[in-house]
Chains A and B, each alone.
Chain A
Amino acid sequence: MSIIKITRDNLENLTVTTSPYRLFSSSSTVGVTGSVFVYAERTNREKGFFNLESLEEVDSFDEAKLAVAFDQFNEATLKMRLKADPTDLQGVAGSLLNLYNATDTPEYRLTEKEITRFVPGVPFNSPYGEKKGSLHSGSLKKSTVKKVLFPYYRTAYPSAHWAYTNFNCLNFFTSSMVPKESVIIYPSSGSQRTGHVPYMPDGEFTFQFWINPRYTFDRHGDDFQAGTVMHMSGCYAVSLVSGSQKDSKGLTDAYRIMLQLSASTTIPPSSATYAANNSRNYGEGERTSRDLLFLTSDNILKRNKWHHVAIRWGTNSINQGTGSFVIDGVEDSQFYVPSASVTSATWGEDTMGGNFPGALFIGNFFEGSNKGAANYLTTNFFNSKAGSEEGVKQLSSDTGMAQPEGYALNHPLNAEIHDIRIYDKWKNVDQIYSSSLRGISSSSIKDKNLLFYLPPFFVKESGGSRQVPDTPCVNKTGHITESPFNARMAFSVAGHDINLENFCREFKEGLYPRLFKLTGSIQTALSEDFFPNEYFYDDGGTGANPRPISAFNRRRALTLMPCDNGKFRSDFTLLDSGTIVNNPATGSLMGSFVNDFEILDNSLISLNNIVPDNDFLGSYEDNGASSTYATEKLDVNISMLDDLAGASAFNYRDGSGTTIKGATTGKGQFRILEETGDNSSNQVVFFNVSNLFYGDRIRPGTFKLSDSDISGSGGKVAVTLKDDGQGGLYRADSLTKHATWNNVGNILYDEGIIVIKSPHLYFFGANQYEVEFRGERNMHALALNISCPAGMINSSTNPTYSDMVPSDNEWEKSEKFVYITGLNLHDDNFNIIGKVNLAQPVIKRDSDRYMFKVKFDF
């Protein structure tokens, strides 16, 4: 036996990374697939163990006793076990075999792990949460992620801030679950340009927008109805209509754009008949109502792809009145209108009579008249009632202005759109292409030819004060909102309501639209307990308490979505307001555009400090003993908390220690905030992936999370999220390049934690979700290179050893050899710490040299 020292250079460490693929899905209807067992090696042949020694010895088989034992086994009443020398061993043994056979496999051995979803901020028992009298564990988990894990991983994952990117699109869709009449209506009055009607080009024009026609109809044979992108009655309408191309299922998968001008805008898009091309050539004075109706080439837009659309026309002074459609920066088709204007030059500013168009409709087509009785006018959408309840600009001082009547909104758009612009200028192709790549900046918004710009961006303003739901059945009047979601409802009853108003600012005129059938609408109070979101969004079915206007809320919740258009980049300088400082104060106009360090970042919408201090304190002033809360069912739940924590739980003292009025009555509104002490957004969704699924970590760049039917969309809105390889999640639904920089959430690869921060995806995964990723598991190995040099290892201490010739070959020169059968590994003190046995002995002549490679896997 010889001993050879193994030095560091004889050691090799190597790691093999395995990458298991995982697919997990959870559905409220079809259940769970893809879960993993906690015990890799498990069998239902293993049975729940019980201690035989604890049982009473019997020496004969007792059928009756056994029957009792089976029935009451869980109570451990079985008092029968094998005696060492029973009189009836066969009977007792048989009964024990039957007993074992009837015993279940221990549940823990068959435990399965699932990928779970949870939301924080729901602290109370029914109707608001799960666990009575204690914080929801989700809030504690959120706190850990936000306060511990995010700061830790922020150096590697730059998007690990409690904020999400302000890059959005308007999502228009139709389904049985949402009203088809929904539309965003901008008041066309009070232009900053004296003598002009807002949004109405006097002569030349260029309309621009990004559009993704991602929806089609449900069944073969159905019609894809034309939907309108923008419509100003009597002036212009731009609609999305189906192309002739169908997919393998017979569903429309290509589209075209239709332009209607002047008198032709009275034709409902679905009723328009048109030639195969735009070849009609009419002179001035020859036009009829159907003349000014033009189309792009067939199938120019593909389903679920982002396309940039521009429509330009330069009056008869440019190209003799030839306009054109420019699709994705390339001129597609032309049309010919040899005229000086396609809109009425007689329409005056703020004039209530005549053919005043009154409003710009986004996402639907207004079928109605601007003429005749006043209550037909589009301006009537901006009546005093709408002004007081919805905070929109009133177009008349007449408080008696009637609600509009005699109209229809039957052409809802089925597409996602963003970056909508209207110029009163003919743009050349280069201008159009360059402007399609990037949003309008704070300087270019001043372009005098720009009439309309809707990014859409979140801003802290929300238009005029309006009614805002405090709960699903109580409004707060005269309120403005400054956060992306309804903070009052979120922090009072864990309800969810997107502040769509804050996303719909038109930046050129600074106007806010009327969100027609898109408002957050409260429901009639019920006498029984309810879950807030269920009550707010569910229509109650055909029961005794139907809630038909919940459809408005569903539509509102899904109208704004994270944008996945990677061919475009927003210019967030447009959001600059006031004096720009690096650390804007909380509550200032720029206070929402900061990261977790409170450093200004215009691209972010902060989810911290959601409830302004003033609002928090003010809630007690507003809601004293005379509050309407006293008559609402919510009071019951407040009382419940009073019982648990005492009324003092609602006491709130200001900085000087003074108890705020009304607080002791238990009518505080921000109960969740008070309970958690956490003023950051709870409108987030967590997914928790056990490391049983992935090993060491989820492999960056492989994660995909999808919901095929966002709750409330009626099966229309599917959302897929992917990771950017740097801990960020982005939306990835379109078939064109994705905006990987549009952060909507984060994934902590090492922890298996996924958080969706965007409140627009709050219902993501509520009914079903699918998770797909690859894991990473490092398999470490240590290789020892043990050399066996010539001249050594040439003798044996085995008593049977004798010098012999290794072989009888003629070429054999050696006169002796040893057989090497194994290797011992010693430590410095010559203790054997490892042993290697060779599969077969190896002949070692004195001149032979060997290298034994020994590998350990661990």
Chain B
Amino acid sequence: MATLKEITAADIKTSKSVLNQLIDVIQEDLSGSATRKKYQVFVTGGVGPGVTSSLFQTVYDQDFTLQTANPMFDVTVGLYASSSTVISSSTGVDTAGKRLFKSSSLMMREKVDNYRQFAQVLLGGADKKFVAPFGTTADETSTDTVNEAMFISFKRLFARDQVKRGTFAMRWYQSASRAPLVGTNESSDPLGNGILHYGPNLYVPTVSGSKIFTDAGATTNKKSTFGGQVADIVDSSDTSRKVGLMFYDHGTAVFDLGKIMSGSQHVSGAISAMSDAADAGDSAAGTAIIGGINTDNKGAAFIPDLMCSASIDDIIDHISTVRFSSGTKTAMTFQNITNINSTLIFCRSTADEFNYSSNPTFTDSNNRIVVIEEGSESQRTVTFPTTVGLYDANSNLLAVAKLSRPVEKRDDKDVTFRIRLDF
């Protein structure tokens, strides 16, 4: 045990370092139903069996029913309240100021609220709008305004202290697939009304025509806002196209669906809807066919029709299975940053210090120091420090530093123990 020596301020240094991890999200994480968790908190009633949906979905790195699964990020969509998509589908505003929508629209107020939530957290105001490129002035009609947004919020486990600038990339399929209608040519116009129709494409994974969106250039073009550091996400094939924003401190990416999707492409498929069997025509109760050749909206497009008519779950299901495709390729990647703060404490033992031990085996029964060879005059005392204890001013033991192996200490040499506390 222990000889005490005071540690002065000169013996204590602090340092800071960073740790980077490379995160690789693959397409199957999004496309798989077992890795994408839904929270069906939205419920309708009154017409048909009703619709249930999440407000967002969480993507896991493996089957989320397993205890070892880690949530990687949340994904959801939102609509800017003043966008034409919202305004044009609205039937008015009630006396309390609540915007009203037709029953064929679904979750419109929830989509607007989602947008407002992210605007509040990232931009500092719920009524603000996301604009890409960041910082430009744009009205609702400007192509820079993000009217239909996709939000991806990485979890703390993956984003850590920060997403590293210039490392984010996402592989995205702009177009949905074009499966031909059965028995027709691919570019069929069965109704002769000039609208080309294809088979259902709402949940058919796209296999070609991907784009990569990246925050390239973010290392030199540094901006900050209410939500911390931010940079534009660009189309790698045309970096002048700013398609979204990356909020590094929050670990949230905002994408303009109007730019990254072929929004005007015809959409076709079954979606959840406020309908009963009697009204649904060729669809089952609780569903509707969007873009079907026998439906009223046979010319439906992804934007605005799908964004208005589909529930958030249906939209996310479409995005996850179609826009990210399904396979083992990388869907998204980035590096994170973990800040490590360290305190270095230098415990110096000079030549004359720490040369004796109170270990009972240090002396023999006559209280004489045990030496290797009895009678030798030249032998000196040797100690083997094994542990360094750190005490406060009141001699309370605060921390213990264990050496991986004992260190020899003699009176003809000094030893400095460098203790590092990481936190």
Q: How far is the CB of A735 from chain B (nearest CB, A)?
A: 35
**A97: which of B20, B23, B329 is its contact (CB, 8 Å)?**
B329
B237 at the interface (CB under 8 A from A): yes
B171 at the interface (CB under 8 A from A): yes
Instruction: Give Cα distance in the complex from A744 to B22, angstroms.
Output: 51
- List the one stretch of A38-46, A200-208, A765-773, A825-833 in contact with chain B: A38-46
Instruction: Give B5-59 interface residues, CB cut-off 8 Å to A.
Output: 20-26, 29
Chain A residues with CB under 8 Å of B171's CB are 94, 97
Instruction: Give Cα distance in the complex from A47 to B21, angstroms.
Output: 7
Total A-B pairs, Cβ < 8 A = 81
A687 at the interface (CB under 8 A from B): no
Assess the A41–B70 pair: CB atoms within 8 A: yes
**A45: which of B25, B167, B216 is its contact (CB, 8 Å)?**
B25
Q: Closest A-chain residue to B332, C-beta based?
A: A97
Chain B residues with CB under 8 Å of A103's CB are 22, 24
Assess the B61–A44 pair: CB atoms within 8 A: yes
Given contacts A43-B70, A45-B23, A84-B217, contact A100 B333 (CB under 8 A): yes
Assess the A100–B24 pair: CB atoms within 8 A: yes
B169 at the interface (CB under 8 A from A): yes
Q: Closest B-chain residue to A89, C-beta based?
A: B236
B126 at the interface (CB under 8 A from A): no
Instruction: Give A28-58 interface residues, CB cut-off 8 Å to B.
Output: 37, 41-50, 52
Assess the B22–A47 pair: CB atoms within 8 A: yes
Instruction: Give B167-181 interface residues, CB cut-off 8 Å to A.
Output: 167, 169, 171
Assess the B239–A97 pair: CB atoms within 8 A: no
Instruction: Give Cα distance in the complex from A52 to B22, angstroms.
Output: 11
Chain A residues with CB under 8 Å of B22's CB are 46-50, 100, 103
A93 at the interface (CB under 8 A from B): yes
A101 at the interface (CB under 8 A from B): yes
Instruction: Give A62-86 interface residues, CB cut-off 8 Å to B.
Output: 82, 84-85
Assess the A101–B26 pair: CB atoms within 8 A: yes
Q: How far is the CB of A607 from chain B (nearest CB, A)?
A: 22
Chain A residues with CB under 8 Å of B402's CB are none
Instruction: Give Cα distance in the complex from A101 to B72, angstroms.
Output: 16
Assess the A84–B220 pair: CB atoms within 8 A: yes
Q: How far is the CB of B152 from chain A (nearest CB, A)?
A: 14
Q: How far is the CB of B206 from chain A (nearest CB, A)?
A: 16
Assess the B157–A93 pair: CB atoms within 8 A: no
Assess the A82–B216 pair: CB atoms within 8 A: yes
Assess the B158–A97 pair: CB atoms within 8 A: no
Chain A residues with CB under 8 Å of B68's CB are 37, 42
Chain B residues with CB under 8 Å of A90's CB are 211-212, 236-237
Q: Closest B-chain residue to A51, C-beta based?
A: B20
Q: How far is the CB of A433 from chain B (nearest CB, A)?
A: 51
Assess the A84–B212 pair: CB atoms within 8 A: no
- Count A-side interface residues using an 8 Å CB cutoff: 25
Assess the A45–B158 pair: CB atoms within 8 A: yes
Instruction: Give Cα distance in the complex from A44 to B158, angstroms.
Output: 12
Q: How far is the CB of B187 from chain A (nearest CB, A)?
A: 28
Chain B residues with CB under 8 Å of A94's CB are 171, 212, 236
Instruction: Give Cα distance in the complex from A72 to B239, angstroms.
Output: 31
Interface class of chain A by DSSP: mixed
A116 at the interface (CB under 8 A from B): no
Instruction: Give Cα distance in the complex from A851 to B338, angstroms.
Output: 39
A96 at the interface (CB under 8 A from B): yes
B201 at the interface (CB under 8 A from A): no
Assess the B219–A45 pair: CB atoms within 8 A: no
A192 at the interface (CB under 8 A from B): no
B275 at the interface (CB under 8 A from A): no
B387 at the interface (CB under 8 A from A): no
Q: How far is the CB of A652 from chain B (nearest CB, A)?
A: 19
B383 at the interface (CB under 8 A from A): no
Q: Closest B-chain residue to A37, C-beta based?
A: B68
Chain B residues with CB under 8 Å of A48's CB are 22
Assess the B239–A89 pair: CB atoms within 8 A: yes
Q: How far is the CB of B153 from chain A (nearest CB, A)?
A: 16
B335 at the interface (CB under 8 A from A): yes
Q: Closest B-chain residue to A83, C-beta based?
A: B216
Chain A residues with CB under 8 Å of B26's CB are 45, 101
Q: How far is the CB of A278 from chain B (nearest CB, A)?
A: 62
Instruction: Give Cα distance in the complex from A47 to B24, angstroms.
Output: 7
Assess the A49–B21 pair: CB atoms within 8 A: yes
Q: Closest B-chain residue to A91, C-beta based?
A: B236
B76 at the interface (CB under 8 A from A): no
Assess the A84–B24 pair: CB atoms within 8 A: no
B214 at the interface (CB under 8 A from A): yes
Q: Closest A-chain residue to B21, C-beta based?
A: A46
Q: Closest B-chain residue to A82, C-beta based?
A: B216
Assess the A97–B61 pair: CB atoms within 8 A: no
B394 at the interface (CB under 8 A from A): no
Assess the B158–A89 pair: CB atoms within 8 A: no
Assess the A84–B219 pair: CB atoms within 8 A: yes
Q: How far is the CB of A95 from chain B (nearest CB, A)?
A: 10
Q: How far is the CB of A60 from chain B (nearest CB, A)?
A: 13
B328 at the interface (CB under 8 A from A): yes
Chain A residues with CB under 8 Å of B21's CB are 46, 49
Assess the B216–A97 pair: CB atoms within 8 A: no
Q: Closest B-chain residue to A99, C-beta based?
A: B330
Given contacts A43-B70, A45-B26, A45-B158, contact A93 B20 (CB under 8 A): no
Assess the A46–B329 pair: CB atoms within 8 A: no
Chain B residues with CB under 8 Å of A41's CB are 70, 157
Assess the B24–A93 pair: CB atoms within 8 A: no
Using an 8 Å CB-CB cutoff, how does the interface string of B316-330 with A read, 1 for contact, 0 for none?
000000000000111
Question: Which 6 A-B pairs have CB atoms at the shortest separation, nearest pair first?
Answer: A101-B330, A90-B237, A89-B236, A97-B330, A90-B236, A47-B22
* Additional A-B contact list (15), CB under 8 Å, known A49-B20, A85-B239, A89-B216: A45-B24, A45-B72, A46-B23, A47-B23, A50-B22, A52-B167, A84-B216, A90-B212, A94-B236, A96-B169, A97-B212, A97-B333, A100-B22, A100-B330, A103-B24
**Could you write out 12 A-B pairs with CB less than 8 Å apart?**
A41-B70, A42-B68, A42-B70, A45-B72, A46-B24, A47-B24, A49-B21, A89-B216, A90-B211, A100-B22, A100-B330, A103-B22
